[in-house]
Amino acid sequence: MSSRKRVIIITGLSGSGKSSAARALEDEGFFVVDNLPLALLPRFLELAEQGVQFTADVAVVIDVRNRDFLAGFEKTLDLVRESGYVLEIYFFDASDDALVRRYSETRRRHPLGLESGVASGIRRERELLAGLRSQATVIVDSTLLTPHQLRDKVVCTVRGEQGLLPLVLKLQSFGFRYGIPSESDVVMDVRFLPNPHFIPELRPLTGKDQPVSEYVLQQHESHDFLTRFQDLFAFLLPQYQREGKSYLTISVGCTGGRHRSVAIVEALAIWFADKEVTLEVVHRDVSKG
């Protein structure tokens, strides 16, 4: 193996938050596999390493849905460590009352309580998981955690001082004439601004050209809009990140998507560049019309 990749085993009580943890790690760039029999883990890692594109760390959800998953688990974990992986075990737990309540709210059946009921299934599951729990690197008690708090705890544990990865922000211009981008989270309409299209010398240009940019941005309406927009997103960005949002698409539209929206997006991109985001700028319709 060319480098020491991390392998995180996500395990624990059914209903304690393993699925939420898996989604959080997937958003953080981990290659996540659900319900893999533990005995197959060394072989899976061997096959994965043969893939040219396989560069991610790995997270594997292993639980009692596979009835024999604990057979020989200590030997299997030793094989993974001996192969040079950094192996971590994240064990998710919660109080019996919390687990029973969650099953009641979702009306799901406990995998070990199909005949005897949820409470009995939880007790049996604790017995089966006792050995693996004793080897856990991290134990997460989700009893009092909301899904967002659980996600933040997982990501901060994985990343340490790095904390959450930056929000991926797509900032795009578009023309209402060609339809609102379907992937938009936020849509801003700047058709209230004076239109360069009606100035003959500006019509052939785009909002990326200096004469058009200066014309649009020198309007007092543009200045007021940008000031209010920036104030709004200075407030919203931390809120989105706190809620665990990984991707955000802001679409700014004018009539044809060539002049006003392009100039505004270029101006906003300069402002967002100083924020803790991974920024992508797209001008969807700038070549049309």
How is 69-84 classified by DSSP, letter by letter? TTTTHHHHHHHHHHTT
Which H or E run includes 17?
A: none
User: What's the pLDDT score for residue 122?
Assistant: 86
Secondary structure of residue 32 in the 3-state scheme:
strand
pLDDT digits (tens, 9 = 90+) for 79-91: 888 888 888 999 9
Residue range 157-175: average pLDDT? 78
Q: Identify the band that residue 174 occupies on the pLDDT scale cut at 50, 70 and 90.
A: very high
pLDDT digits (tens, 9 = 90+) for 218-239: 999 999 999 999 999 999 988 8
User: What's the pLDDT score for residue 118?
Assistant: 78
Tokens of 166: 């930056």
Cα–Cα distance, 32 to 105 (Å, whole number): 27
Q: Higher pLDDT residue, 115 or 151? A: 151
Q: Higher pLDDT residue, 51 or 288? A: 288
Residue range 24-34: average pLDDT? 88
Place of tokens 């729990």: 133
User: What's the pLDDT score for residue 2?
Assistant: 44
User: What's the pLDDT score for residue 92?
Assistant: 94
Residue range 201-210: average pLDDT? 96
Cα–Cα distance, 259 to 208 (Å, whole number): 8
Q: Higher pLDDT residue, 1 or 147? A: 147
User: What's the pLDDT score for residue 1?
Assistant: 46
For residue 96, give the amino acid letter.
Answer: D
Cα–Cα distance, 126 to 146 (Å, whole number): 22
Residue range 270-279: average pLDDT? 89
Q: Is the pLDDT of residue 50 over 50?
A: yes
User: What's the pLDDT score for residue 71?
Assistant: 63
- The partner residues of 174 in beta bridges, in order of sequence, read 253
Secondary structure of residue 252 in the 3-state scheme:
strand
Cα–Cα distance, 108 to 105 (Å, whole number): 8
Q: What percent of the chain has pLDDT over 70?
A: 88
Q: Identify the band that residue 255 occupies on the pLDDT scale cut at 50, 70 and 90.
A: very high
CB 124 within 8 A of CB 118: no
Q: Kindly list the structural domains of the chain, giving each domain's residue range(s) and its CATH number in brackets, ordered by start.
A: 6-162 (3.40.50.300), 167-283 (no CATH)
Average pLDDT, the chain: 85
User: What's the pLDDT score for residue 183?
Assistant: 87
Cα–Cα distance, 27 to 161 (Å, whole number): 18
Lowest mean pLDDT among 70-79, 106-115, 268-277: 106-115
Residue range 107-127: average pLDDT? 75
DSSP 256: S
Place of tokens 């971590």: 88
Q: Which residues contact 174 (CB under 8 A, 6 or more apart)?
A: 180, 181, 251, 252, 253, 257, 261, 284, 285
